[in-house]
Structure formats: C-alpha cells, structure tokens
Amino acid sequence: MRRERDRLSVEWVKLELLRTAYATRGGLLAGRDPRVVIGWYLILAVVPWFTHNVTVLAGLFVVCAAAVVLSRVGPLILGLFVIGFVLEGLYVLFAAWLFGGDASTVLAMAEFTLKLATVSLASMAAFVSLDPEKLSDALLSLHAPAMVSFGVSYGYRMLPVLMEEFHTVVDGHRLRAAPLASKGFLGWRVAVRTATTLVAAFYPLMLNTAKRTRTTVEALETRGFTYAAEHPDGRRIRLAALRADRWDALFLGATLALVAVCFTVGRAFPLLGGAV
Amino acid sequence: MADSSRTAAIPDLRGRPGPPELNSGQKLMVFVLSMTLFGLANIVTEVLPEIQVGPVELGVSYLTFVPVLMVALFHPLYAALGAPLGEIVFADLLMGDFSGIGELEGYLQMFLALYVAGCLVRDPGRRWQLALASVVTVVVDKMLSATVDVAKVWVGVEEADSVPGLPESVLVLEGVDFAVALVISGVLFGVLPAMALGPRLHGRIEPLLGLAPRDARHRIPLAERGTGAFLLLAVFLSFVAMIAAFTNEIVDNFGVWEPDFVELYGARFLWVGASAALIVLVGLVVSVRFVLRSRGRRAAQDRQVGERRP
C-alpha cells in the first residue's frame, strides 16, 4: 500500500511540474506584445514604491488583482501566494509584538505588505500568462544578453528529458538499496536516505549532462550559433515576429490612466500617511 | 563506455604546460552545463518538503553543492554566470514563478557568491577548499539578500526607524533565516556532498567537455586576478543590488519635487546620488575596457585564421 502511494506521488509531482511548465496559457496579457507586457509590469512594479498613501496602494492593488484574475492565473500559484503573504505578515506581527510594537507597527507592516503584494501580483499577471519563449524574445529585443534567451529556449526543451533522467537514476538507487529496517525517530532515517539518494543521483547526472551538453554545444557551434547570436541580421530575423499594434498602445494607455486615477483619488481621500 | 574513445583523444591537452584558453564553444559548454544542473537542482528543491517551526522555515533553499562543484571544477566566471540563470529559467520562469526585477537581484547575489567561491578554490581535489567554497557561497549570498531585504523595509515603510519594534523584528527574522540557510544549505547540502563528490568528479568530468582539468600549478585568468580588482567587483555588485532597492528613496518625493529636498534628506541623499554616479562610471569604464579587449582579441584571432587559411 505504501509503495503504491509513493510511486504515484513521484509520478504525480513530475506530471504536475510538467503541466505547470507547458500548460496552454491564455488570458488578457497573453495576446499582447511581450515588450508591452514587460513595460506594463515595470510601471506597476515601480510605482508602489513612490508612495506611502494607503489609498493609492489599495487602488494599485485592486488594479493588479483584476489583472491577475483576467490573465487566468492558476489556483495553485495564487493559493501559494496568499498563504505565503498571510504567514509572513503573521510572523512579522508576532515578532514586532515580541519587541514591544504597537498599532503603528501593525499599520506600517500592513502598508509594506500591501506594497510587496501589489508588486508580486503584477509580476504574476505579467509572467504567468506569457509564453517563456515570447518573454525571451522580448528580453532579446531590449538588448538582454543572447545567453538569456538561449537559456530559456534550451530549458524549455530539455526540462522533460532531464526530469525523466533524474527520475530514472533515483529509481535505480532505490532498486539497489535495501529497504529501511525502521523509520527512526520522527522518520529521520527516511530523511537521511532521501537526502543521500538525491546527492548520489547527481553524480551520474553531472557526467551524463556534461556529455549531452558537449554534443548540443558542438552541434550549435557547427551551425554558427555564437556568430548568429551576435550578428545584427540574426537578431533581426529572430525578432521579426514581434509586432505591437494599437491594442497594445491602448492597453498601456489604460494602465497609465488607471495609475493616474489611483493617485488622484489617493490625494483627494488620503486614508493614512498624507504624503503622496 | 561509449565515450572512451573521446576521452582517449584528450591527453595531448593535459600534457601541455598550461591549460589553453577556453574558446567560445567551451565557454558556452561550461555555461550551459552549470545552468542545466543548477536548474534541475532547483526543481528538485521545489519538490522537497519544508518543515515550518514558527517563523523558522526548515527547508533547503538550494542544493549548494551543485553550483559550487561547477565553479570549482570549471572556469569560475562562466560557471557562476550560468548557474543563477538556470535557477531563473527552470525553477522560476518555467514554473510560472518569475518575479521580474527581483530575479535580477537574486541573479547578482548568486553570481557574486559563486564567483567568489570559485576563485577561492585552487585545487578541486582538496576537500577543505571545497568546504570553504560551499560556506562562502551561502554566506555571501545570504548576506547580500539580507542587506537588500533590510533596505527594502527601510525604504518601503515610512520612517521605519521610529516604528517601535520593527527594525529588531526584521533583523531577527533575517538572522534566523541566515543561520538556517548556513546549516542546511551550507553544510548539509553544501560542504558534505561537495567534499564527497568533488574529488570523484575532478579529472573525470572535464574530459567529457574536452577540457583540461583545473590544475593548482597554473593560474586561470580571471580566477586569480589579485584581491584588489576582485574586491572592487564585489563592492560594485553589492552596491548595484543595494541601489536597486534604494532608488525609491531618491524618487520618494516624486509628488513634492521641491528644491529643498537636499535639506530634507541631507547628506544621505547626496551620498546615494554620488555612489550611483560612481557606480555607473566604474561600470562604464570596466565594460568599455572589456569590450575593447575582447574585440582586439577577436580581431587578432581572425587575422591568425586568415593567415593560416591561404
């Protein structure tokens, strides 16, 4: 019974990871030009740090939350985010109370948490719905090093192979090892066995990956990879697919207008901390 | 083994007096290998369970031994450039956990930590050097991240110093996080596995990439470039991370842009501005020199190739 569940769980985790990486994404931001999405993110990630006005922050938070809903972020990521923020806030409050804080500490922490939450929501809305390869093209067009976009493409293709191989190596270790006689206090033997297996699995994995890397890189270099990455013509061909239309302009304009509205409302009705 | 013929073709490289300079393909190999392995290690870390005891999170933040072995066995610069990118690509971007500007901060921290660690290792066959490198990696990385976190609170909260209990609580949380990371990521998943695997991999994995093993008798350029230039780089990068968190201090008075902001912020404002300018200047000089040098080298290579061809 235990063995059955164990096997299922490893398989389940693997599938779940692959699903997260390759599931078709969609929603509001997915159809936009990736450069515009990065611009949108930069606006909403930088603006919250300019103000201590809670009304403005709440407005920006609502904007980002709406974007997250519209870009169909999965419940798993959203749930993790919420739990993480609630726990973090609780711990900080607890620690502040321990060191003699009062209501002002709570308010200050609430403001800070709101800021961080807004920025995280913005990044979630922007990057969860965006195809990694589109994102890497956008970064390339913003003059990020060619290595970044290569890394994204390579990782996107190699991930399933690598995970499969890691799983095989770990399974091999488990097959050769004798089952544990007892779990030990609080299952410490299981923890130690898991950790040593993980570490030991990396030894063959490193050697195999080295071989595979050499093959890949030699194949790439034979076709002039480094040369093409540096040559302006190669860049032009790669980036020809990027095109911003007027919907993108409209989208950016609407975002800026919303941010302006937030600041206007915040100045008119400052909830706390008058300085905008 | 299928690759024994490949390995057998290598010894002429080993016999040479010094390790040859890496060509662009080999740099790419080291970079990609380090990226792939650390990326995979991060996916494994995501799956590992974490135990929460109150505010303390007893979890593995990363498998330190993987990138430490990479910077110890190969050229530290290219390995250190690749590893944090692997974390971003595999664990964050593909898993839908990409956090934009925050990733840049993490990249700089991890790169600096790994590069420092890789430069400290001279002979990957010696276990204590690998142990030192693992500890240094975690210490540098966590120190920088704690600095950035504290700076964020200081900037993000209005007059953070006057809020009772806040600075202490943040510092305590950071300190606990630091200690946990040092024990779990630094020792349990850093020192011990690195000491076990390092000497076994040394001399075995390099030929698979067509490289000569790292040799203590020969210095690798950019890995032993005196502590002066090296410390400069360290300070420079940590400042960049700090300034990224401090920028809002400058633009805080966005809405009330008045000429008396110098009085309001006093010397601190000037200091931030001046150090930002200095950093931009140093960065420009370094990058221009680097570009010029690499261009000169490439031109020389092209000339050599051109001479050889006819």
Q: What is the DSSP letter of A178?
A: P
A186 near B CB under 8 A: no
Coil, strand, or helix at residue B53? strand
Q: Are B48 and B1 in contact (CB under 8 A)?
A: no
> ipTM of this model?
0.79
A112 near B CB under 8 A: yes
User: Is there a domain that residue B199 lies in?
Assistant: yes
Determine the straight-line distance between the first and last CA of chain A, rounded to whole angstroms: 61
Pull the structure tokens for residue B184. Answer: 């779990």
For the entire predicted model, the pTM comes to 0.75
Q: What is the DSSP letter of B160?
A: G
Buried b (16+ CB within 10 A) or exposed e, A145-178: ebbbbbbbebbbebbeebbebbeebbeebbeeee
B47 near A CB under 8 A: yes
* Sole residue written with tokens 């071989």: A211
User: Is there a domain that residue A274 lies in?
Assistant: no
pLDDT confidence of residue B108: 87
Provide the H-helix boundaries in chain A. 2-22, 34-46, 54-70, 75-98, 103-128, 132-141, 146-176, 188-222, 225-230, 232-239, 246-268
Residues 235-254 of A with CB under 8 A from B: none
User: Is there a domain that residue B105 lies in?
Assistant: yes
Owning domain of residue A42: 2-268
Q: Which long-range contacts (CB under 8 A, 24 or more apart) does B109-112 make?
A: B109/B140, B109/B141, B109/B144, B109/B145, B109/B148, B109/B241, B110/B67, B110/B80, B110/B83, B110/B84, B110/B141, B111/B80, B111/B81, B111/B83, B111/B84, B111/B237, B112/B140, B112/B141, B112/B144, B112/B233, B112/B234, B112/B237, B112/B238
Q: Report the phi/psi class of residue B18: left, alpha or beta, with left for phi > 0 and alpha for psi in -120 to 50.
A: beta
- Per-residue pLDDT at B67 exceeds 90: yes
CA-based nearest distance A16→chain B, Å: 10
Phi, psi for B213 (deg, rounded to 5): -60, 150
Chain B residue at shortest CA distance from A128: B96
Q: Report the phi/psi class of residue B226: left, alpha or beta, with left for phi > 0 and alpha for psi in -120 to 50.
A: left
Q: What is the mean pLDDT of residues B276-299?
A: 70
B175 near A CB under 8 A: no
Q: What is the CATH number of the domain that holds B213?
A: 1.10.1760.20
pLDDT digits (tens, 9 = 90+) for A19-35: 767 766 667 777 788 88
Q: Are A48 and A119 in contact (CB under 8 A)?
A: yes
For B107, the enclosing helix (H) or strand (E) is helix B101-120
User: Is there a domain that residue B144 lies in?
Assistant: yes
Q: Kindly report the average pLDDT of chain B as a whole number.
A: 73
Q: What is the mean pLDDT of residues B141-169?
A: 73
Q: What is the mean pLDDT of residues B97-106?
A: 80
- Per-residue pLDDT at B62 exceeds 80: yes
Q: Are B44 and B63 in contact (CB under 8 A)?
A: yes
Q: Are B243 and B271 in contact (CB under 8 A)?
A: no
Contacts of B103 (CB under 8 A, 6+ apart): B88, B92
For B54, the enclosing helix (H) or strand (E) is none
Residues 4-33 of A with CB under 8 A from B: 13, 17, 20-21
Residues 8-27 of B with CB under 8 A from A: 24-25
pLDDT confidence of residue A1: 38
- Going A78 to A80 to A85 to A86, the CA torsion angle's sign is positive
User: Is there a domain that residue B32 lies in?
Assistant: yes
pLDDT confidence of residue B37: 93
pLDDT confidence of residue B53: 63
Instruction: Report d(CA B50, CA A167) in Å as an integer.
Output: 21
Output B190 or A94, whichever has higher pLDDT: B190
Q: What percent of chain B has pLDDT over 70?
A: 60
Contacts of A20 (CB under 8 A, 6+ apart): A74, A76, B94, B95, B96
User: Is there a domain that residue B230 lies in?
Assistant: no
B228 near A CB under 8 A: no
CA-based nearest distance A151→chain B, Å: 7
**Displacement of CA A156 from its chain's centroid (Å):** 14
Q: Do A17 and B47 touch (CB under 8 A)?
A: yes
User: Is there a domain that residue A209 lies in?
Assistant: yes
pLDDT confidence of residue B273: 54
Q: What is the DSSP letter of B51?
A: E
For B14, the enclosing helix (H) or strand (E) is helix B11-14
Buried b (16+ CB within 10 A) or exposed e, A88-101: bbebbbebbeebeb
Angle between helical axes of A188-222 and B192-201 (0-180°, round to 10): 40
String of DSSP letters for A56-103: HHHHHHHHHHHHHHHTT--HHHHHHHHHHHHHHHHHHHHHHHHTT--H
Q: Do A217 and B29 touch (CB under 8 A)?
A: yes
pLDDT confidence of residue B225: 47
pLDDT confidence of residue B261: 43
Q: Shortest CA distance to B247 belongs to which of B270, B276, B268, B274?
A: B276
Q: What percent of chain B has pLDDT over 90?
A: 13
CA-based nearest distance B217→chain A, Å: 25
User: Is there a domain that residue A275 lies in?
Assistant: no
Q: Report the phi/psi class of residue B219: left, alpha or beta, with left for phi > 0 and alpha for psi in -120 to 50.
A: beta
Pull the structure tokens for residue A249. Answer: 């302009």
CB pairs under 8 A between A and B: 220
Query: Regarding beta strands B51-53 and B56-58, do their DSSP bridges make them parallel or antiparallel, or are they unpaired?
Result: antiparallel
pLDDT digits (tens, 9 = 90+) for B223-238: 654 543 565 466 556 6
Q: Are B198 and B72 in contact (CB under 8 A)?
A: yes
pLDDT confidence of residue A117: 87
Q: Do B156 and A209 touch (CB under 8 A)?
A: no
Taking 70 as the pLDDT cut, the residues of chain A under it are 1-10, 20, 23-26, 100-101, 272-276
CA-based nearest distance A37→chain B, Å: 11
Count of structural domains, chain B = 1
String of DSSP letters for B184-233: IIIIIIIIHHHHHHHHHHTTTHHHHTT-PPP-TTSPPTTTSS-HHHHHHH
**B81 contacts in chain A (CB < 8 Å):** 147
pLDDT confidence of residue B231: 54
* Sole residue written with tokens 């076990």: B196
**A210 contacts in chain B (CB < 8 Å):** 33, 205, 208-209
Chain A residue at shortest CA distance from B55: A91
CA-based nearest distance A120→chain B, Å: 7
User: Is there a domain that residue B236 lies in?
Assistant: no
User: Is there a domain that residue A276 lies in?
Assistant: no
Chain A residue at shortest CA distance from B244: A46
Buried b (16+ CB within 10 A) or exposed e, B13-23: eeeeeebeebe
The beta strand positions in chain B, using DSSP E, are: 51-53, 56-58
Residue type, A59: G
Q: Do B169 and A163 touch (CB under 8 A)?
A: no
User: Is there a domain that residue B183 lies in?
Assistant: yes
Q: What is the mean pLDDT of residues B41-57?
A: 74
Q: Shortest CA distance to B127 belongs to which of B182, B191, B201, B212?
A: B191
- Per-residue pLDDT at B160 exceeds 70: no
Owning domain of residue B61: 4-220
Coil, strand, or helix at residue B17? coil
B81 near A CB under 8 A: yes
Q: Do A17 and B95 touch (CB under 8 A)?
A: yes
Task: Quickly state the pLDDT bin for B139 (edges 50, 70, 90).
Answer: confident
Count of structural domains, chain A = 1
Which of A11, A83, A118, A147 should one mutate to test binding to chain B, selecting the residue with the greatest count of B CBs within 10 A? A147
Which of B33, B103, B108 should one mutate to test binding to chain A, selecting the residue with the greatest count of A CBs within 10 A? B33
pLDDT confidence of residue B252: 43
Q: Do A214 and B164 touch (CB under 8 A)?
A: no
